[in-house]
Amino acid sequence: MTLDLYRIPVKDVHGVKGKKPEELLALGISTVGELLDYYPFRYEDYTLRDLTEVKDGDKITVQGTIVGAPQLQMYGRVKSRLTCKMMVDKLFVTAVWFNRHYLKDQLKTGEDIVLTGKWDQKRLHLTVSESEFPGKGTSQIGTLQPVYSVAGAITQKWMRQTMKQALTQYGGMIAEVLPQELLDKYGLMARKQAVALLHMPGTMEEGLRARKRMVYEELFLFQLKMQAYRALNHDRADGIAHPLDLPGVRAFVRALPFTLTGSQKQVLAEILHDLQQPYCMNRLLQGDVGAGKTVVAAAALFAVVKAGYQGALMVPTEILAEQHKRSLERLFEPYGIQVALLTGSLTARQRREVLGALQMGLVDVAVGTHALIQEDVFFRSLGLVVTDEQHRFGVNQRSILRRKGMNPDVLTMTATPIPRTLAITAFGDMDVSTLRELPKGRKPIKTYAVTHDMLERVIGFIRREVEAGRQAYVICPLIEESEKLDVQNAIDVHAQIQFAFPQFHVGLLHGRMAAAEKDEIMREFSENRVQVLVSTTVIEVGVDVPNSTMMVVYDAHRFGLSQLHQLRGRVGRGEHQSYCVLIADPKNEVGKQRMKAMTDTNDGFEIARRDLELRGPGDFFGTKQSGLPDFRIADMVTDFEVMEQARDDAAGMVKQPEFWTGAGFGMLREFLRRENIFDSELLD
């Protein structure tokens, strides 16, 4: 047995004495193990930089020659401003020190000096935070120094020294926790090496590799806890074990007008497996726009209906409900499966009829909006609930619907790994299936960001597509919090476009129209009786008209990235080359970055990542309500994919019988024991 560093008090590290153990305790550190796990949150880069290559506002380290006499101004006894002219990379630079008057005598004309500070490009000022005179003390030049979160009497410098000391004394005893197979699988370095490099990386690259290893470890252990807990609690068999007719489902899939992608097949297999188990499925299906989630859901609904249960498909808008109802009807017709629509715009009588049919089991699949979950809706035997674009639904809405059935299985589909998705993944109460590939033959959508003065050319572009037999969407500016202005915009743009294309039918769609009107326009568009559809964002999610190849978005900088990506996903659904033109005059950096992200990539996962980055995770995680776990080193947003890998690895591991008994997993079981997984009922 290796020495357990988590049992050695931190005062055993040389130099940790007096009040220091107490101060460390305030940071949550009482043992050597905890000290070594106290990672820096960034590195200070003391590599020498070339002034011609740095940006305004950068924190940099440069070497220069003093070329003028220092000037000192005192404000009172301690406050001061010291300046000195320097020659750095052929530039005359003014170095500025605040409250370091004592440095004045050390600044000698003609001598070299290394300064670290914040660079002001305009004024050629460097506001110095650290100065190094050649030949004095230990040099930091060319190194990376860890920056820790410190407080009280614990200074950055002391922490760096103490960490170094702890590594010297105990670094060799750091034990591996991850099984070798996982290290090999991801090419991760040993824990011993990772901890050392994390605190003292030679290069940024080394620091990042060390971080990668520790991120994986942290997320893996987190997921292992979750998965072990699930495994130990899996006898709660209060769900439906659907008696599936698998050959029947296979025949249904074979009869589709296309072959499923490998991803779709795999995901469907995961769902079918879950449906047959006696516990409740709670699965998240995520895939980029156009990845083909709907048909997977359809096959799952088919399977459940064939097993004698009813299904429900809940979507955020009436247009979508209508569209899904039509496509499900088309798919299910040969099998005599009854599909009904339940939306807010049914007449009282229609509604009563649908409700009756649901309750008596005359309807097999109900498609609807929020109307599906009102109090008076009852199913005879609800076996599966699918929600599309789940971020439009609140968690409790889903649970209301769930309570109406006999613990139905739940499949949630989303095109964006949104924060709640992160949360759900993090808490592990959902299994995640991901469609990673798009159906074959899809050509990446060509995206252009243009300014408003190019409108003429954009209209010419639309004309070219429409004359070639294709269709186009034109999305109107979004005026926050004013549907009325949105509508007015749409009406104006519609008039403008119709004027430009007298020979084509230009449709108009907005939120103030009656549902029946909207449906009519959508039907006309999907049947190519309307060639150009001018719309507000009611169009946004899920609409599927494969002949449309052009998406034009006015004032694109006003839309969020995920929203733009969703909009773009309305085209590129057929075999024709598709285009997305974003008309925007972004005033700020975020707007510019959004346009850049859109033209850079077609990958929804990458878009979602950049979206979160631009909005700043603080927007989501800063608030208490998120309740997300605090990771020491992993980042919920940027490390999301690692989280998913870790989850799969952990889930696979607890399924192996050797995990619970084998010697190779002793460290991991020890970890679970420390986390009270074996005795506690509730996991925090």
Alpha helices in 307-347 (DSSP H): 318-332
Say whether 684 sits in a helix, a strand or coil: coil
Residues contacting residue 349 through CB under 8 Å, at least 6 positions apart: none
Of 21 and 546, the one with the shorter C-beta distance to ligand ADP is 546
Of 294 and 343, the one with the shorter C-beta distance to ligand ADP is 294
Of 159 and 285, the one with the shorter C-beta distance to Mg ion is 285
Give which of ligand ADP, Mg ion, none residue 85 binds (C-beta under 5 to 8 Å, depending on kind). none
Q: Do 619 and 628 meet the contact criterion of CB atoms below 8 Å apart?
A: no
CA distance 467 to 132: 69
Residue 565 lies near ligand ADP (rule: CB under 6 A): no
> What's the min distance (Å) between Cβ of 371 and Mg ion?
19
Q: Segment 405-434, which members bind ligand ADP (CB under 6 A)? A: 415
Give which of Mg ion, ligand ADP, none residue 291 binds (C-beta under 5 to 8 Å, depending on kind). ligand ADP
Alpha helices in 233-261 (DSSP H): 246-254
Q: Which of 86, 114, 195, 289 binds ligand ADP (CB under 6 A)?
A: 289
**Segment contacting ligand ADP by CB under 6 A, of 163-171, 282-290, 331-339, 674-682:** 282-290
Say whether 506 sits in a helix, a strand or coil: strand
Strands 471-475 and 548-553: parallel
Residue 316 lies near ligand ADP (rule: CB under 6 A): no
Residue 264 lies near ligand ADP (rule: CB under 6 A): yes
Residue 308 lies near ligand ADP (rule: CB under 6 A): no
CA distance 233 to 251: 36
Beginning with the edge strand found earlier in the chain, give each strand of the sheet holding 382-388 in spatial order. 339-342, 365-368, 310-314, 382-388, 409-414, 282-287, 431-435
Q: What is the DSSP track for 507-531? A: EEE-TTS-HHHHHHHHHHHHTTSSS
**Segment contacting ligand ADP by CB under 6 A, of 75-83, 242-250, 290-298, 422-430:** 290-298
Residue 310 lies near ligand ADP (rule: CB under 6 A): no
Residues contacting residue 346 through CB under 8 Å, at least 6 positions apart: 354, 371
Residues near Mg ion (CB under 5 A): 542
| Per-residue x/- track, 2-41, ligand ADP (CB under 6 A) | ----------------------------------------
CA distance 220 to 197: 20
| Per-residue x/- track, 567-596, ligand ADP (CB under 6 A) | ------x-----------------------
> What's the min distance (Å) between Cβ of 300 and ligand ADP?
13
Closest residue to bound ligand ADP by CB:
292
Give which of Mg ion, ligand ADP, none residue 264 binds (C-beta under 5 to 8 Å, depending on kind). ligand ADP
Q: Segment 525-564, which members bind ligand ADP (CB under 6 A)? A: 542, 544, 546
Of 80 and 416, the one with the shorter C-beta distance to Mg ion is 416
| Sign of CA pseudo-dihedral 673, 677, 678, 683 | positive
Alpha helices in 140-203 (DSSP H): 156-170, 180-186, 191-199
CA distance 71 to 83: 5
What is the total residue count of the chain? 684
b/e map of 350-377 (b: 16 or more CB within 10 Å)? ebeebbebbeeeebbbbbbbbbbbeeeb
Residue 258 lies near ligand ADP (rule: CB under 6 A): yes
Q: Which two tokens stand for residue 483?
A: 């549907």
Of 288 and 431, the one with the shorter C-beta distance to Mg ion is 288
Give which of Mg ion, ligand ADP, none residue 286 binds (C-beta under 5 to 8 Å, depending on kind). none
> What's the min distance (Å) between Cβ of 321 and Mg ion?
12
> What's the min distance (Å) between Cβ of 545 and ligand ADP?
9
> What's the min distance (Å) between Cβ of 533 and Mg ion?
18
Say whether 50 sits in a helix, a strand or coil: coil
Q: Which two tokens stand for residue 320?
A: 């979508």
Q: Which residues bind ligand ADP (CB under 6 A)?
A: 258, 260-261, 264, 287, 289-295, 415, 439, 542, 544, 546, 573
